[in-house]
Amino acid sequence: MAITVLNTGRHAERVFDVVRSGFGEENNDVVARSWRRCLDEYLLHPDRPRELRALEPSALHERLARMATLVDCARHEMATLFQQLADQEAAVVLTDTDGVILHMVASPEFSEEVAPLGLRPGVFWSETEAGTNGMGTCLAAAAPVAVRREDHFYTQYTGLTCSAVPVYNPAGEMAAVLDVSSRSSLMQQHLLVLLGMTARMIENRLIDQCFRHAHPVHFHSRPEFVYTLHEGRLAVSDDGHILAANRSALFQLGLQSVADIRSRRIEDIFQTSQEDLLHRSTLSSFHPVVTYRAHASHRFFAVMRRPAFEASALQLGSGASSAQASAPGRVLTPTRTPLPRPLTAPAAPVGPTLADPTLARQLDVARRVIARQTPVLLCGETGSGKEVFARAVHEGSPRSGGAFVAVNCASLPESLIESELFGYRAGAFTGAQRNGRRGKILQADGGTLFLDEIGDMPLELQARLLRVLEERQVTPLGAEETVAVDFQLLSASYRNLMELVESGRFREDLYYRLAGVEVRLPALRERSDRAELIRSLLLAESGGDGRLSGEAEQLLMAYAWPGNVRQLRHALRSACALADGAPIRLEHLPVALQRAAIESGSPMTALSMPEMPREPAIGETPALSAPTAPHAGPATAGAPASNLPVSPTDEAADDEAVLKLNPIQANERQMLLKMLEQHRWNVSSVAKAFDVSRNTLYRRLHKLHIRLSHTD
Ligand SMILES: Nc1ncnc2c1ncn2[C@@H]1O[C@H](COP(=O)(O)OP(=O)(O)OP(=O)(O)O)[C@@H](O)[C@H]1O
């Protein structure tokens, strides 16, 4: 389906009118200001769009390599957001601060459709290039924005609606923009909430990733919010200096910027020393400990943990700073000494639920074989918990004292996999870090190497990996000497590796090396411990007080979960945020689930979504109330061929039948009537909003005695 745009001449006139005549009350200020910038500052003309600038492939490659950490932290969250949207005509997009698209998640059909518009990696979407648009205007305004179809400066983009939020790096600077561009203009408020949450998840991941050698501190003024998306996060160096803070930390501590906290000591923030906080956190295991704001009586609950990559077995003295610990110059001096087990809790207060008997048996087998140095290959759908399972294998193995080092082979640009895995010596290539870098394989020495999405490893690297596995030696890039290395190996793939072998994309000899034992993890829909998993994830995501309504629970149990545990976790996370302490109802669950409920004909109590009330956009006529039309014949069971708006018939005729509806059906009927009214009785539009076919919606309307007639 082609993207439909507005009439160029009329749209341009409206832009000029709004900018010339000032901003009326009905106008969206952010958009109107952006239009003014486009006209006055960038000297763009709405009638004369320019072709968007795009990076050459080599320049894009280089930029992606530079931004690899950001993209890596964002890609899982973006994939989950895309799944939650359940909209095949939407794209989740990440740009850098120049507005260059770095990563995009969309269906192949939609990607193909929007690529000619410039919605593809490497293209610049700053306002100066593309005029008012979600990504560019979010960058210019440094704030979340929704740019609806007719809000775009250039007509050619008016077929799309974009919502975008900034993503901040651990220094508190804007590092990226996360955007959803979609054909549908519904649900902007809902989308902005989801985007904001996704941005926070990316920011927290960035802190974890950039400060792996620092002590993470998780805190909140309410204990149940520790380890949730609302928690404050700090990264603290070995010698007690604060290196980074997330937005919630700054907000809770009443600080304006990361600069206000960076380099201060933990004692300057809380009435406690680093040693004391670490010690008490260790003693109290999963429970946050009480601490007070320095020079004030504000109470916080906090947990300080040991660094995730504690010294990566670098054999540094106990007083070594985190900066030293990450110094890659030591790449050739690995230790074989297993590290002590971390003393504190894992990242979430609730451990993984692996109570399904098949899964428990598989875990037992995997632990036994890996103890005999037999590599284990995990297969399973995306999000089914392969990494969680791999960690559980590691934790129960003889090498649990060593590091667990996970490498996602799909998320690393091809050019970086080699240096990331094998490390490099100082000066090995242009752009290399001054002191060289210790590769992941050496970091796993004495512990476990987990190669995730191994099917995505390029063929030439497969050969090198095979050699390492056979010889148990690594030669970092640019190094002459080889280094002996000793680790246990787990790998995972959501793709069928045997099929890749057959099509020549995966080496057969490597496959047999990796698959000493192959474990197929069950999909969530096949697991018998779903109820426990839902309970424990709800506990983790809500901070302890999350509750589910009966219908929401039924739906969570019955849904097929194509995105598995990851999708479940994210659905609960967003539902907790939207329910805001109240029991989670159907309306708080993602649209994909609601759609499934409609399709299966299960009750849709309180389906007040998808459209949230909002101010009309510039030039938009306020929503009309439902027209009343005369009775027009029998109820329509099948979808009429035409796409014309319809209006309700005289409901009196159906009064009796309506009175017989049960309260849930009556409620659902109310909601559907409200939706129809909001969509001006356009059934296609309501069907689209629920993402169901018109036939499905007509059947539902018929069942609920909502009669419709065509109007001209
Ligand atoms: N048993 C479990 N208990 C609690 N959380 C789980 C469990 N299994 C998976 N999760 C959560 O689900 C999400 C996805 O898990 P994980 O990354 O292990 O899946 P995966 O199969 O490796 O995904 P991918 O194929 O995309 O790499 C994570 O947030 C993880 O914490």
Final residue in a domain of this structure, among 306, 336, 358:
306
Question: Which domain-ending residue is among 459, 492, 522?
Answer: 522
Kindly state if the Cβ of 353 falls inside 6 Å of ligand 1. yes
How far is residue 236's CA from residue 303's CA, in Å, rounded to a whole number? 12
Could you tell me the CATH number of the domain that includes residue 301? 3.30.450
Residue 5 lies in a domain: no
The residue whose C-alpha atom lies closest to atom 16 belonging to ligand 1 is 385
Are the C-beta atoms of residues 468 and 445 closer than 8 Å to each other? Answer: no
Let me know if residue 312 belongs to a domain. Answer: no
Whether pLDDT at 668 is above 80: no
Is the pLDDT confidence value at 242 over 70?
Answer: yes
pLDDT of 666:
64
Give me ligand 1 centre to Cα 563, in Å.
Answer: 10
- Let me know: does 154 contact 15? Beta carbons within 8 Å: no
Spacing, Cα 541 to ligand 1 middle (Å): 14
Higher-confidence position of 352 and 392: 392
- Ligand 1 atom closest to the Cα of residue 521 is 21
Average pLDDT, the chain: 77
Assess whether 56 and 178 both reside in one domain: yes
For CA atoms 680, 684, 685, 690, give the dihedral sign.
Answer: positive
What pLDDT is recorded for position 630? 27
CA distances (Å), origin 98, targets 93, 169, 183, 662? 14, 15, 24, 56
Confidence of residue 324 (pLDDT cuts 50, 70, 90): very low
Element (H, E) at 404: strand 404-408
**Contacts (Cβ under 8 Å, ≥6 apart) of 467:** none
pLDDT digits (tens, 9 = 90+) for 427-467: 555 544 555 677 889 999 999 999 998 998 888 888 888 98
Q: Is the CB of 539 under 6 A from ligand 1?
A: no
Confidence of residue 203 (pLDDT cuts 50, 70, 90): very high
- Dist. CA 696–CA 677, nearest whole Å: 18
Of the pLDDT bands very low, low, confident and very high (cuts 50, 70, 90), residue 175 is: very high
Return the H-helix or E-strand segment holding 696.
helix 694-703
Q: Is the model more confident about 696 or about 655?
A: 696
Q: In this structure, are residues 273 and 266 in contact, taking their beta carbons and an 8 Å threshold?
A: yes
Task: Answer yes or no: do 429 and 515 share one domain.
Answer: yes
Q: Are residues 548 and 667 in the same domain?
A: no
Distance CA 65, CA 55 (A): 14
Query: Candidates 77, 394, 533, 566: which one to mutate for ligand 1, based on the most atoms within 8 Å of Cβ?
Result: 566
| pLDDT > 90: percent of the chain | 29
Residue 607's pLDDT band (cuts 50, 70, 90): very low
Domain boundary among 495, 522, 549: 522
Q: What is the pLDDT of residue 602?
A: 54
Contact 493, 518 (CB under 8 A): no
pLDDT of residue 603: 46
**629 occurs within a structural domain:** no
SS3 340: coil
Tell how far the Cα of 110 is from the centroid of ligand 1, in angstroms. 28
Answer yes or no: are the C-beta atoms of 63 and 55 closer than 8 Å: yes
Q: Using 50, 70 and 90 to split pLDDT, how confident is the model at 135? A: very high
Q: 650 and 506: one domain?
A: no
With 0-12 CB in 10 A as exposed, 13-18 as middle and 19+ as buried, what is 460? exposed
- In a shared domain, residues 270 and 350: no
Looking at the structure, tell me whether residues 123 and 164 fall in a common domain. yes
| 104: CATH | 3.30.450.40
Q: Which domain holds residue 702?
A: 646-710
More confident residue, 307 or 27: 307
Tell me: do 347 and 445 sit in the same domain: yes
- The pLDDT, as a whole number, for residue 17 is 85
Residue 635 is predicted with a pLDDT of: 30
Q: Do 283 and 193 have their domain in common?
A: no
Radius of gyration of the chain (CA): 28
The pLDDT assigned to 246 comes to 93
Nearest-atom index, ligand 1, CA of 389: 18
Position in ligand 1 atom list of the atom nearest CA 382:
25
73 and 162 housed in the same domain: yes
How many C-alpha atoms does 654 have within 13 Å on its Cβ side? Answer: 21
Query: Is residue 620 over pLDDT 80?
Result: no
State which of 388, 394, 451 you would mutate to test the pocket of ligand 1, scoring each by most atoms of that ligand within 8 A of its C-beta. 388
CB 682 within 8 A of CB 710: no
**Ramachandran angles phi, psi of 261, nearest 5°:** -120, -25
Q: Write b or e for each residue in 642-664: b if 16 or more Cβ atoms lie within 10 A of its Cβ, otherwise e.
A: eeebbbbbeeeebeeebeeeeee
Question: Structure tokens of 457?
Answer: 């490893």
Does any domain span residue 410? yes
Which stretch of 299-308, 309-318, 579-588 has the lowest confidence by average pLDDT?
Answer: 309-318
Which pLDDT belongs to residue 393? Answer: 92
> Does the pLDDT at position 642 exceed 60?
no
3-state SS, 477-521, equals: ECCCCCEECCCEEEEEECCCHHHHHHCCCCCHHHHHHHCCEEEEC
Domain count along the chain: 5
| Torsion of Cα atoms, 63 then 67 then 73 then 74, to 10° | -40
For residues 87 and 194, membership in a common domain is answered with yes
Contacts of 682 (CB under 8 A, 6+ apart): 643, 645, 646
pLDDT average, residue stretch 134-141: 96
Q: Which two tokens stand for residue 41?
A: 């500052």
- Tell me if 100 is assigned to some domain: yes
Query: At residue 651, does pLDDT exceed 60?
Result: no
530 CB less than 6 Å from ligand 1?
A: no
With 50 as the cut, is the pLDDT of residue 313 above it? no
Question: What does the pLDDT look like over 508-549, one tens digit per residue?
Answer: 999 999 999 999 999 999 998 899 899 989 988 887 778 899
For residue 543 and ligand 1, the question of a CB distance below 6 A is answered with no
For residue 445, which of 474, 420, 424 has the smallest C-alpha distance?
474
Would residue 294 count as lying in a domain? yes
Paired strand residues for 500:
none
By mean pLDDT, which of 41-45, 394-398, 409-413 is the weakest?
409-413
The pLDDT value given to residue 434: 54
| Ligand 1 centroid – CA 381 distance (Å) | 10
Residue 105 forms beta bridges with which residues? 92
**Among 449, 458, 434, 446, which Cα is nearest to 399's?**
446
Ligand 1 and 455: CB distance under 6 A = no
Which has more pLDDT, 112 or 263? 112
Answer with the residue of higher pLDDT: 125 or 291: 125
| The pLDDT value given to residue 227 | 78
Residue 21 pLDDT > 70: yes
How many angstroms is it from 651 CA to the middle of ligand 1? 50
* ipTM tops the 0.90 cut: yes
**Ligand 1 neighbour 385 (Cβ under 6 A):** yes
**Per-residue pLDDT at 616:** 28
pLDDT at residue 143 tops 80: yes
Report whether residue 380 contacts ligand 1, using a CB cutoff of 6 Å: yes
- Least confidently predicted of 92-101, 209-218, 578-587, 597-606: 597-606
Distance from the alpha carbon of residue 382 to the mean position of ligand 1, in angstroms: 8
- 607 within a domain of the structure (yes/no): no
For residues 492 and 188, give the distance between their C-alpha atoms in angstroms, rounded to a whole number: 37
Provide the CATH number for the domain around residue 327.
Answer: 3.40.50.300
Better-predicted residue by pLDDT, 103 or 5: 103
Q: Cβ(494) to ligand 1 under 6 A?
A: yes
Cβ contact 79:93 at 8 Å: no
- The predicted structure's pLDDT at residue 24: 61
439 in contact with ligand 1, CB cutoff 6 A: no
CATH assignment at residue 679: 1.10.10
Query: What is the Å distance from ligand 1's center to 355 Cα?
Result: 15
Tell me how far CA of residue 530 lies from CA of 80, 362, 363, 550, 588, in angstroms: 19, 17, 17, 15, 20
